[in-house]
Amino acid sequence: MLGSRWAMPGEKRLPKTHIFVTHYHWDHIQGVPFFAPFYAESNEFHFYSFRSEFLGRDSLKQVFETQMASPYFPVDMSAMNARRKFQEVSGGESFTIGENKVTAKWVNHPQGCLGFRIETPAGTVAYATDNEPGDPALDKSLRELAAGADIFINDAQYTPEQLASERRGWGHSTWKEGVRIAREVGATTLVLFHHDPDSNDRAVDSLLRHAREEFDSVFAASEGMMITLGAPGGRVDAHMPGTRTALRREARFRAKVCGVTEGGRAFEEETIVSDLSLQGAMIALKHSPRLQSELQVTMQTPGANGIQVMELRGYVVRIDAGTEKGQRSVGVVFTD
């Protein structure tokens, strides 16, 4: 998404772009080979990360080169025509980029991870990706990173219950811990980040609702979200993408669903569609459709001239246990 916007005509870009890589786990590096601006020779990128004890010197460059080496990717890193510079930084180190001061701090995550604090004339942003509470020294480091920040972006992958049980040791945090830290260090706005891949929009909304009950200014990060700093200590404005606001509604529509079951039999069923967006919906079904199969959804919606019929096509991306006995909760992404 970012790479596509970058290539749009008229998009304003700086001659140099600085990218902070917090650590080397797959979910933080695997998009690199597909980022189109890296292939344009008119671009220049400066990368910052730490020297891994497992890789030694030039760790970040090694990671990028290795994931594009044969047989993992069709072309190697030499296909990237943009100018590239790699700089190693360590926890506690500060440096400047233009009029901005950047400070790196260690946070608690397996195999090492950095958080970054960026102090700008408009305010301070603390970016604390993957981190887990419980190590006193690193807990202190995280609080130093976030102290007085206008925006504190913090890992909130798990619920407090998950972290206290089966997810301890995985290197992630909770909304509750983020609220606790934001209060302690005087951060102005908390952004919940690094959502669990198994969390749907409803689950993220639930975490956000809990956090907002305990802290005044909280947002849940979403793709395309833009946050604007006005002045240090001033108002923080967040522009939320349509997929998380205007296009999504808590709704219940009567609908008819046609598709194919796991056993390959065609089915047709009357049901209710909820949590509707222009991208997808959660649908309660007695049938169990095949994953990745196409569904046709016909809905009746109230309109100015009475009941209107809406026909949508999509494919099945998720099947969960339903809230009622004998039903399944089916996630559908609409294609047209």
185-221 pLDDT, tens per residue? 999 999 999 999 888 877 888 898 899 899 988 888 8
**Residue 69 and residue 76 in contact, taking contact as beta carbons nearer than 8 Å:** yes
Judged on CB neighbours under 10 Å (0-12, 13-18, 19+), 187 is buried
How does the average pLDDT of the chain come out, rounded? Answer: 86
Output the pLDDT for position 243.
Answer: 46
Parallel, antiparallel, or unpaired for β 306-321 and 328-334? antiparallel
Cα→Cα distances 107→16, 131, 247, Å = 28, 6, 36
Structural domains in the chain? Answer: 2-241 (3.60.15.10), 248-334 (2.40.10.220)
- Helix (H), strand (E) at residue 201: helix 201-214
SS3 label, residue 178: helix
Q: Whose CA is closest to 40, among 13, 65, 72, 60? A: 13
Output the pLDDT for position 30.
Answer: 92
**Residue 103 and residue 145 in contact, taking contact as beta carbons nearer than 8 Å:** yes
Beta-strand (E) ranges in the chain?
17-20, 44-49, 83-88, 94-97, 100-106, 114-120, 123-128, 151-155, 189-193, 218-220, 226-229, 236-239, 248-260, 266-277, 280-285, 294-303, 306-321, 328-334
Residues lower than pLDDT 70 in the chain = 1-14, 230-252, 274-279, 301-306, 335-336
Output the pLDDT for position 151.
Answer: 94
Neighbours of 309 (CB within 10 A): 10
